[in-house]
Amino acid sequence: MKKIAIVIAILFANILFSQSTHAQDTYYQKGITYAGTSQTSSSTIVMSVAAMNSGGTKKDNVVVYSRCSIVENVYNADYCVIKSLKTTLYASNSSGTLVTNNSNMIGQVAPEQRYFESVLPDLSIFIPSYRWNLVYYAVQGIFNTGANATSIIHSNNSTYTSRSVTYNYPSANMLEVPSTIAYDRIPVYYSGKAKGVATNFLLHTGGSHFTAKAQLSYEMGRITGYYDVYRFNITSNEAKLIHSVGL
Amino acid sequence: MKKYAIIGFALVAVLVLSFGFEREKKLVFNEKVNLTFYEDMEANQTDLIEFNSRKFGKDLEKSSINFKINDLIVKQENADFTELNAKGQGVLHLPEGNFNFTFDGMVYEVPLSNGKVILSGGLEGEIVNKAGEDTISINLLYDYTSEKVYLGVTNGHHGELAALPFGNSKLSIDEINELNSVIAN
C-alpha cells in the first residue's frame, strides 16, 4: 500500500514538473567554447551553452560536439571511437575541484534568442534524479531523450552544488562534427538539426553565475599487423564556460 | 514422482547453464612494455609520447606494469554484452621509480561471433608520476579465451600526454572492430 502511495506521489510530482516544460522556452546563447592545445591549436571538443531565466525557472542547455577526426590526424590513428562524454554544471562561478588546462574561452556573445523544443523528462529516466531522503539539489540534470548512449550515469558532488551527466559510448553520428566547420559556426551550421549531445540542467538556486564544463574521452587505435593493434584513451581538454542565466 | 524428477532436472539444467561461463571477480595482470608497439610509437606517434621523459623518465623499454581489478560489478546486461564497473589499483614499474595508481571505470564483456569472450574498456584514475599529480587512463583489452591482455596506459590529456603500451591481446583488427561496434551499437 505504501509503495503504491509512493509511486502515485512520484507520478504526481512528474506531472506537476512536466507541465512547466510543455511550453517552448526562450533560451539565450551564452557562448561557444573549445578546448585544444597551445602547441597544435587542435581542438578535440566544442561546447555551446544557452540559458533561460523565466518566472523564477532557470535552465541551462549545454551542447557538446566531438572531433574524432582531429584525434585521428594528430595521433596518426587508424581508427577513433568516442568512449564517453561528461557534462557538468556548477552552481557557482568557481571551477570546482577539477583541474582545467588550456581551456580557451571566448567572451560571452551578445544575447541572441534561441528557441529549443522543450525537453519533457521521460518518467523512467527522471526518477534517478531524486533520492528518497529528499536531498535538495542546487542543480538537477536531465538529458535529452534523443541522446543515444550505451549507458547514462548521473552524479553530483558532496555539497550538491554540481551535477554531472556521463554518457558512455554516446552516438557518434550525433556528436561528431567535421573539422572543416569552425567551432563558432557549428550551432549556426546545424541549426534545427539533431546535432550534438544536449544536456539540460534545472537550476534550483538563487545564484546568478554558473559554470558549464565538458570533457570527451576517445579511443585511438593503430594497426601494426593483423593481430597487432594498440589502443590508447585520449582525454580531451576540458571545455569550460562561466556564464549568467539572465539576459 | 515424475513431476519432481522434471523439476529436479530443470534445476540442474539452470545451474549448469548459469555456471557455463563463470566471470572472475578479480583479475591480476603483470605485463612488460610491448617493444614492437613502442618502436612504432617512437617513429609515428610523437604527440602521444611527447611528455614521456618528463612524466616517466628514460629507458622505458625496461618498464612493466602490475594491474589488479579488485571487483567487477554488473551494471547492465543485455543480449550483446554486459556492462560492468571495475575498480582497482596498480603500479607502474619504471627504471626511474615505481608509481602507484588507482582506477575506476566501465568495462564491457562481449562475446564475439567466433566464440571468444572479450573484456574491453577504459579506466580512469589518479597517479603521482615524475612530474607530479596527474590523471591516468588505462585502455584494457583482455581475451578470456587465450588469457592474453593488452594495457594501454596514458597520463594526462590531449596536448600533454605520456603513453606506454603493455602486453598484447593478439586480437585481430576485425575482432576489435566487431567489439567496438557491438558496444557502441
For the stretch B4-16, pLDDT in tens is 766 666 665 555 4
What pLDDT does residue B6 have? 67
Which ipTM was obtained for this model?
0.87
Q: How far apart are the CA of A226 and the nearest CA of chain B, in angstroms?
A: 5
Cα separation, A17 vs B167, in Å, equals: 52
- What tens digit of pLDDT does each residue of B147-158 get? 999 999 999 998
- What tens digit of pLDDT does each residue of A130-145 get? 333 333 445 555 544 4
| pLDDT band, very low/low/confident/very high, at B128 (cuts 50, 70, 90) | very high
What pLDDT does residue A91 have? 76
What pLDDT does residue A4 have? 64
What pLDDT does residue B8 have? 65
Using only C-alpha atoms, chain A has a radius of gyration, in whole angstroms, of 19
Considering only A35-49, A72-86, A123-137, A142-156, which range has the smallest mean pLDDT?
Answer: A123-137
**Chain B partners of A228 at a C-beta cutoff of 8 Å?**
36-37, 168, 170
What pLDDT does residue A96 have? 36
Identify the closest residue of chain A to B123 by CA–CA distance.
Answer: A233
Average pLDDT over residues A73-94: 87
What pLDDT does residue A206 have? 64
B54 vs A125, higher pLDDT? B54
| Chain A to chain B Cβ contacts (< 8 Å) | 122
Q: Taking CB atoms and an 8 Å limit, are A231 and B141 in contact across chains? A: yes
What pLDDT does residue A69 have? 92
Average pLDDT over residues B116-121: 96
Average pLDDT, chain B: 90
What pLDDT does residue B23 have? 65
Identify the closest residue of chain A to B34 by CA–CA distance.
Answer: A230
A138 vs B164, higher pLDDT? B164
Q: Is the pLDDT of residue A113 over 50?
A: no
Considering only A29-43, A66-80, A94-108, A147-161, which range has the smallest mean pLDDT?
Answer: A94-108
Average pLDDT over residues A9-20: 49
Cα separation, A69 vs B16, in Å, equals: 47
Instruction: Out of A5-9, A179-183, B57-61, give the one with best mean pLDDT.
Output: B57-61
Q: Which of B40, B141, B185 sits opposite A150 (nearest CB)?
A: B185
What pLDDT does residue A108 have? 26
**Chain A partners of B159 at a C-beta cutoff of 8 Å?**
36-40, 42, 101-102, 237
For chain A, which residues lie within 8 Å of any Cβ of chain B, measuring from their own Cβ? 36-40, 42, 44, 71, 74-76, 78-79, 81-84, 101-102, 150-151, 168-169, 172, 217, 219, 221-224, 226-238
Q: What is the pTM assigned to this prediction?
A: 0.79
What pLDDT does residue B13 have? 55
**Chain B partners of A101 at a C-beta cutoff of 8 Å?**
157, 159-160
A134 vs A71, higher pLDDT? A71
What pLDDT does residue B46 have? 86
B185 vs B56, higher pLDDT? B56
Average pLDDT, chain A: 70
By percentage, how much of chain B surpasses pLDDT 70?
Answer: 88
The sign of the torsion formed by the CA atoms of B68, B133, A95, A62 equals: negative
The long-range contacts involving B142-146, CB below 8 angstroms and separated by at least 24 positions, are: B142/B27, B142/B29, B142/B118, B142/B169, B143/B116, B143/B117, B143/B118, B143/B169, B143/B170, B143/B171, B144/B116, B144/B117, B144/B118, B144/B119, B145/B115, B145/B116, B145/B117, B146/B116, B146/B170
Identify the closest residue of chain A to B180 by CA–CA distance.
Answer: A81
Q: How far apart are the CA of A207 and the nearest CA of chain B, in angstroms?
A: 31
Using only C-alpha atoms, chain B has a radius of gyration, in whole angstroms, of 20
Q: Sheet containing B64-77: which strands, arranged edge to edge? A: B27-32, B64-77, B82-94, B97-111, B117-129, B132-143, B148-155, B162-167
Q: Is the pLDDT of residue A228 over 90?
A: yes
| CB within 8 Å of A87: residues ≥ 6 apart | A62, A64, A141, A164, A165, A166, A167, A197, A199, A212, A213, A214
What pLDDT does residue A142 have? 53
What pLDDT does residue A141 have? 55
